[in-house]
Amino acid sequence: MFHGKKIIVVMPAYNAGPTIEKTFKEIPLDLVDEVVVTDDASSDDTVEIARRLGLKLRLHAENRGYGGNQKTCYQAALDLGADVVVMLHPDYQYTPKLIPAMISMLTDGPYDVVLGSRILGGAALRGGMPLYKYVANRSLTAIQNILCGAKLSEYHTGYRAFTREVLIELPLLENSEDFVFDNQMLAQVIHRRFAIGEISCPAAYFEEASSINFSRSVQYGLGVLRTSVQLFFENRGWGSASIFKQDGKKLNPTPAEAQGL
């Protein structure tokens, strides 16, 4: 518990065997109540390592994709009664040492969502972010801020924390099963006017860290632009995208017997 709130860290895993233990060992377990790993049909020893570490597990029989894995993550956290949920990639690309600051911004601060930004502080390139990804990140973020009516330093970080209310309110089951899920979720957050805070996060690119290739990056970028245009129209009453519907499909908010955990 942290200030009376149940804190759960979720790790959407896919072939994270080389890094998951290192990531887990830096999680502040004095503040975090549960750590849940959702494995997206890994072909390496991710599941075996997670079991040895005593982590709670949810397993996909078949690969669903990054977005599908996150849907499982957040449902698992809600089933366990989480008040605050931190999504931490198990590939050690984002430092777990920021978890105390992120959760305090949600439990004690005015925020509903907190993003770990690699752009704040200007250390992205020094941390090994490829130049083409940095340029794409900055360019897309600038366009998104205009279209979405927001002012964020980065839309593309995978280090995020949410209150329970956000996960219950957003129609997350309407979102993609692929990488654009992240941006669709942020667009939904902006559309519902939840308060977003950012914290500077060092970038870490290395051989074991997961990263999509150039062609997938282009596909992702096009999906990001499409989502931003959809929000632009939605904010003006011209849209009908399912991801913004008030009655869209949502996660189950009722804590239940957490199957597989």
| pLDDT (tens digit per residue) in 129-187 | 889 889 999 999 999 999 999 999 999 999 999 999 999 999 999 999 999 999 999 99
CA 202 from centre of chain: 16
- Between the alpha carbon of residue 49 and those of residues 28, 42, 96, 260, the distances in Å are 19, 12, 18, 16
- Tell me the CATH number at 239: 3.90.550.10
Instruction: Tell the residue number behind the tokens 């941390």, with chain if given.
Output: 127
Q: What would the mean pLDDT of 116-138 be, rounded to a whole number?
A: 89
- Give yes or no for residue 11 having a pLDDT over 90: yes
List, in order, residues 6 or more apart from 204 with CB less than 8 Å away: 92, 93, 94, 95, 127, 128
Q: How far is CA 194 from CA 104, 185, 205, 216, in A?
A: 17, 12, 30, 30
Q: Is the pLDDT of residue 257 over 60?
A: no
Burial class (CB in 10 A: 0-12, 13-18, 19+), 248: middle
22-60: per-residue pLDDT in tens? 999 999 999 999 999 999 999 999 999 999 999 999 999
In three-state secondary structure terms, 188 is helix
- In the chain, the number of structural domains is 1
The predicted structure's pLDDT at residue 215: 82
In angstroms, rounded to a whole number, what is the distance separating the alpha carbons of residues 231 and 224?
Answer: 11
Query: Do 119 and 138 contact (CB within 8 A), yes or no?
Result: yes
Show the tokens assigned to 22. 């290192």
26 within a domain of the structure (yes/no): yes
Is residue 259 scored above 60 in pLDDT? Answer: no
In a domain, 37, yes or no: yes
Length of the chain: 261
| Structural domain containing residue 55 | 7-244
Residue 100 lies in a domain: yes
Q: Does any domain span residue 251?
A: no
In one letter, which amino acid is 146? I
Predicted local distance difference test score (pLDDT) of residue 111: 98
Q: Which of 166, 220, 226 is nearest to 190 (CA)?
A: 166
The model's pTM: 0.94
Structural domain includes residue 249: no
CA-CA distance, 209 to 183, in Å (whole number)?
Answer: 20
Rounded Cα gap, residues 59 and 39, in angstroms: 5
Q: Residues 92-106: what's their mean pLDDT?
A: 96
252 occurs within a structural domain: no
In a domain, 255, yes or no: no
Contact criterion met (CB below 8 Å) for 261 and 81: no
* Confidence band, pLDDT 50/70/90 cuts, at residue 258: low
Q: Considering the domain boundaries, does residue 185 fall inside one?
A: yes
Distance CA 79, CA 258 (A): 6
